């Protein structure tokens, strides 16, 4: 094989998997570049963990191939693969100390004692746990256990690091801190990483790219910004971030909702008039108290969110959510416009027919 044809990183090539008579992953293709952190994001049962387990070698794909740095590893046992996994429950061995846990793989490889000690100390330093080197897993906190699991995976210097919902057992504050630690370490050593999560916040904040999965397929594979600003499907739009969705008619720069209310839309010049589903992020709903162009809206509820305020509005017969400045004094009645909106038909994003500059 020629060297030029070998793409570095991980390639999941048209992989399918049935489990218990149900198709869990179907004809999935995903390419993760070397050094990139990709999140598999989706609701439970979408096939993200199954995909990860196939990459790790704990499941065999029914069809397709998994390539790491260009070589097919699909038929290799987990112990023969250049992958390392951080399990959801950490899977630390309770009868071994942190040192024994982390050094297990190195000891199997019969490395000299001194080298083992150096490498374990180095990786524990990386995750900031040198002081717990002789503790048993049951004696350290959940966040520390998590970092031991990460150290145990990293010490083997795998080509691909796999993380299976590694933060789901931590409390909310710790989760934010540990995910930043993981991202920081990942970037420092530049390791190709696949991170499984059902938390869109987590995915948006640490990924280079996110693959949103549903029903065993990748709905969209894009960087966080694109995923949020231009979700390719109705599913992605509603799964990532909050989104107001209405079906109605676009006509003359305004969108007519069910119940007859017509809301002006500012940035849809490139679209033909017609029937659509419209998706509007709450922060793209502009409200004004004193007249101006806009549809009438009734304020149902105000929810303080700290640095912003969430308004629950009624426009015609539809309910609408809007994020506004926290100091906005809301009258009972407001006018709403859509500063930015996305149009969908049959669940797919409808691209504008001519390029539009988005302000």
Residues in contact with other proteins by the rule CB under 8 A: 56-58, 77-79, 83-85, 87-95, 104-105, 108-109, 137-142, 145, 152-153, 156, 169
Nearest to 166 by CA among 177, 30, 155: 177
Task: Please state the closest distance from residue 102 (CB atom) to other proteins, in A.
Answer: 10
- Residues 6 or more apart whose Cβ sits within 8 Å of residue 262: 254, 255, 256, 295
Task: Please state the closest distance from residue 111 (CB atom) to other proteins, in A.
Answer: 12
Nearest to 289 by CA among 264, 256, 324: 324
Task: Please state the closest distance from residue 8 (CB atom) to other proteins, in A.
Answer: 22
- Distance, in Å, from the CA atom of 143 to the CA atom of 206, rounded to the nearest integer, reads 18
Nearest to 150 by CA among 204, 188, 115: 188
Residue number, 105 or 282, with CB nearest to other proteins:
105
Ordered DSSP codes for 92-116: --TTS-HHHHHHHHHHHTT--HHHH
Nearest to 55 by CA among 33, 34, 74: 74
Residue number, 107 or 272, with CB nearest to other proteins:
107
Residue number, 145 or 267, with CB nearest to other proteins:
145
Task: Please state the closest distance from residue 329 (CB atom) to other proteins, in A.
Answer: 42
The full length of the chain comes to 359
Q: What is the largest CA-CA distance in the chain?
A: 78
Task: Please state the closest distance from residue 213 (CB atom) to other proteins, in A.
Answer: 22
Residue number, 138 or 325, with CB nearest to other proteins:
138
Residue number, 110 or 225, with CB nearest to other proteins:
110
Residue 181 φ/ψ, nearest 5 degrees: -60, -45
Residue number, 137 or 216, with CB nearest to other proteins:
137
Nearest 10 degrees: Cα torsion 62, 65, 71, 73: -30
- Distance, in Å, from the CA atom of 235 to the CA atom of 212, rounded to the nearest integer, reads 9
Residue number, 56 or 264, with CB nearest to other proteins:
56
CA atoms within 13 A on the CB side of 139: 10
* E runs forming strands in 90-158: none
332, two tokens? 């009972």
- Work out the end-to-end distance of the chain between its first and last CA atoms, rounded to an integer number of angstroms: 49
339, two tokens? 């500063």
Residue number, 58 or 245, with CB nearest to other proteins:
58
Task: Please state the closest distance from residue 47 (CB atom) to other proteins, in A.
Answer: 19
24, two tokens? 């869990």
Task: Please state the closest distance from residue 138 (CB atom) to other proteins, in A.
Answer: 5
Task: Please state the closest distance from residue 60 (CB atom) to other proteins, in A.
Answer: 14
């Amino acid at each position: 094989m020629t060297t030029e044809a070998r793409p570095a990183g991980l390639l999941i090539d048209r992989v399918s998997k049935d489990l218990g008579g149900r198709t869990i992953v179907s004809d999935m293709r995903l390419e993760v570049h070397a050094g990139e952190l990709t999140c598999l994001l989706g609701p439970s049962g979408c096939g993200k963990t199954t995909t990860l387990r196939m990459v790790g070698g704990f499941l065999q794909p029914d069809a397709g191939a998994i390539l790491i740095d260009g070589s097919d590893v699909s038929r290799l046992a987990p112990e023969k693969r250049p992958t390392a996994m951080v399990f959801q429950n950490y899977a630390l061995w309770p009868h071994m100390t942190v040192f024994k846990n982390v050094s297990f793989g190195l000891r199997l490889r019969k490395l000299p004692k001194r080298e083992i000690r150096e490498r374990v100390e180095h990786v524990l330093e990386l995750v900031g746990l040198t002081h717990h080197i002789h503790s048993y897993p049951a004696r350290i906190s959940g966040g520390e256990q998590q970092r031991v699991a990460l150290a145990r995976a990293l010490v083997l210097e795998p080509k691909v690091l796999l993380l299976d919902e590694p933060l789901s057992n931590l409390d909310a504050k710790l989760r934010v801190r540990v995910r930043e630690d993981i991202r920081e370490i990942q970037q420092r050593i530049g390791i190709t990483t696949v991170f499984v999560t059902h938390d869109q916040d987590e995915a948006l904040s640490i990924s280079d790219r996110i693959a949103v999965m549903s029903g065993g397929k990748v709905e969209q594979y894009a960087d966080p910004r694109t995923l949020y600003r231009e979700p390719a499907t109705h599913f992605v739009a509603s799964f990532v971030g909050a989104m107001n969705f209405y079906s109605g008619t676009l006509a003359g720069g305004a969108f007519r909702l069910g119940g007859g209310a017509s809301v002006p839309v500012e940035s849809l010049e490139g679209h033909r008039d017609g029937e659509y589903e419209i998706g509007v992020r709450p922060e793209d709903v502009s409200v004004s108290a004193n007249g101006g162009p806009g549809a009438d809206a009734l304020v149902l509820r105000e929810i303080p969110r700290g640095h912003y305020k969430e308004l629950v509005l009624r426009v015609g017969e539809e309910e609408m959510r809007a994020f506004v400045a926290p100091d906005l004094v809301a009258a009972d009645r407001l006018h709403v416009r859509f500063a930015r909106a996305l149009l969908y038909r049959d669940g797919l994003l409808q691209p504008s027919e001519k390029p539009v500059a988005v302000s």
